[in-house]
């Protein structure tokens, strides 16, 4: 997950620096450019008066930033899924053993009656 966060941070800062470099009037400071890219990452499109190069950069960043965010989400979900699947077999056997022990305890009270007892698997 750390590599995806690094890539995400680099892409947001890189696009913000590029937006700042393309701003001819220098009306936006770096904080505003970072804020625009952060909102763009979540799909909040708020284009301002761009030049043709600014529009090209806007389209590229509007496609790339949500794509990087979705990849980050998939990486987190895959990591959690792998942790659960690594632990599923031991926990399954643990629960199965507990069920067998519980059944044997219930059958233990009938041992004194002298009748035959069988454990059935269904």
Residue-wise pLDDT tens digits, 61-104: 888 888 888 888 888 889 889 988 888 888 889 999 898 888 77
In a domain, 120, yes or no: no
In a domain, 115, yes or no: no
- Per-residue pLDDT reduced to its tens digit, 11-51: 889 988 888 888 777 666 788 888 888 888 887 877 677 77
In a domain, 83, yes or no: yes
Q: Answer with the residue of higher pLDDT: 42 or 113.
A: 42
In a domain, 116, yes or no: no
Radius of gyration of the chain (CA): 30
Tally of domains within the chain: 1
Q: Distance (Å, rounded) from C-alpha 65 to C-alpha 67?
A: 5
In a domain, 22, yes or no: yes
In CATH, what number is assigned to the domain containing residue 46?
1.10.287
In a domain, 6, yes or no: yes
CB atoms within 10 A of CB 72: 17
Element at 29 (helix H, strand E): none
In a domain, 8, yes or no: yes
> Domain of 69?
2-106
């Amino acid at each position: 997950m750390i590599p995806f966060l690094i890539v995400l941070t680099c892409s947001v800062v890189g696009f913000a620096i590029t937006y700042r470099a393309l701003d001819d009037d220098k009306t936006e400071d770096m904080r505003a450019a970072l804020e625009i890219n952060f909102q763009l990452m979540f799909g909040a499109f708020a284009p301002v008066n761009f030049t043709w190069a600014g529009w090209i950069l806007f389209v590229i960043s509007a496609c790339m930033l949500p794509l990087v965010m979705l990849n980050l989400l998939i990486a987190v979900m895959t990591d959690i899924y792998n942790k659960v699947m690594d632990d599923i077999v031991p926990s399954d056997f643990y629960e199965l053993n507990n069920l067998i022990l519980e059944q044997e305890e219930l059958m233990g009270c009938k041992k004194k009656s002298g009748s035959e007892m069988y454990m059935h698997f269904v």
